[in-house]
């Protein structure tokens, strides 16, 4: 009974009063704070929209640069001929040699002023080769090779698209 009496004596606050403006603060300051919050949310939404536009531009540029795209299954069983600690590096070299041959990438630049075309492997492909360690690369691997205007070739893992 005593707890009920104490609860009745305590003043109950309305939810409307808690959300209302504090009497200590002038009205101008609260309005300025609200404007600042709105501006912050606007700038956050603007930056996210700008990021989306930039990524879409990059994707379009990449799509325009692609001259040729092919999918290959590369046999890597001969990498197992090497000693155990040299198998994964040999598999990487075999992939680059296979792509160089089949995508017709020259070893040297045609002219002295130009750079030689490069063969670049993606991180996902590299992780797939090295996934089971240096001693156990996969027996074969399916890749997607894309060639750009400059002659550079990027090799992707085929399953991850």
List, for residues 83-99, the tens digit of each pLDDT value.
999 999 999 999 999 99
On the question of pLDDT at 153 being above 50, the answer is yes
User: What is the structure's pLDDT at 15?
Assistant: 46
User: What is the average per-residue pLDDT within 123-150?
Assistant: 96
Give the confidence band of 39 by pLDDT, cuts at 50, 70, 90. Answer: confident
Strand order across the 66-75 sheet: 66-75, 140-148, 153-157, 119-121
14-23, 43-52, 85-94, 95-104: which range is least confident on average? 14-23
Please provide the average confidence, as pLDDT, over all residues in the chain. Answer: 81
On the question of pLDDT at 72 being above 90, the answer is yes
User: What is the structure's pLDDT at 128?
Assistant: 96
Q: Give strand pairing partners of 109.
A: none
Q: What is the pLDDT of residues 140-152, one digit of tens each?
A: 999 999 999 988 9
65 vs 103, which has greater pLDDT? Answer: 103
Give the CA distances from residue 31 to residues 21, 26, 35, 36, 80, in Å, rounded to whole numbers and listed in that order.
Answer: 10, 9, 6, 9, 72
User: What is the structure's pLDDT at 2?
Assistant: 53
User: What is the structure's pLDDT at 125?
Assistant: 96
| Exposed e or buried b per residue across 38-76, where buried means at least 16 C-beta atoms within 10 angstroms of its C-beta | eeeeeeeeeeeeeeeeeeeeeeeeeeeeeeeeeebebeb
């Amino acid at each position: 009974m005593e707890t009920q009496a104490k609860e009745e004596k305590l003043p109950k606050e309305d939810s409307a009063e808690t959300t209302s403006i504090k009497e200590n603060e002038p009205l101008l300051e609260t309005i300025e704070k609200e404007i600042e919050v709105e501006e912050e949310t606007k700038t956050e939404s603007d930056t996210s929209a700008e990021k989306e536009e930039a990524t879409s531009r990059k994707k379009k540029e990449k799509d325009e640069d692609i001259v040729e795209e092919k999918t290959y299954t590369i046999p890597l069983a001969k990498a197992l001929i090497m000693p155990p600690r040299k198998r994964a590096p040999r598999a990487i070299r075999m992939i680059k040699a296979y792509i160089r041959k089949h995508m017709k990438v020259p070893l040297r630049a045609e002219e002295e002023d130009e750079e030689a075309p490069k063969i670049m492997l993606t991180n996902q492909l590299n992780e797939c080769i090295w996934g089971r360690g240096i001693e156990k690369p996969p027996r074969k691997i399916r890749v997607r090779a894309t060639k750009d205007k400059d002659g550079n070739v990027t090799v992707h893992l085929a399953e991850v698209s």
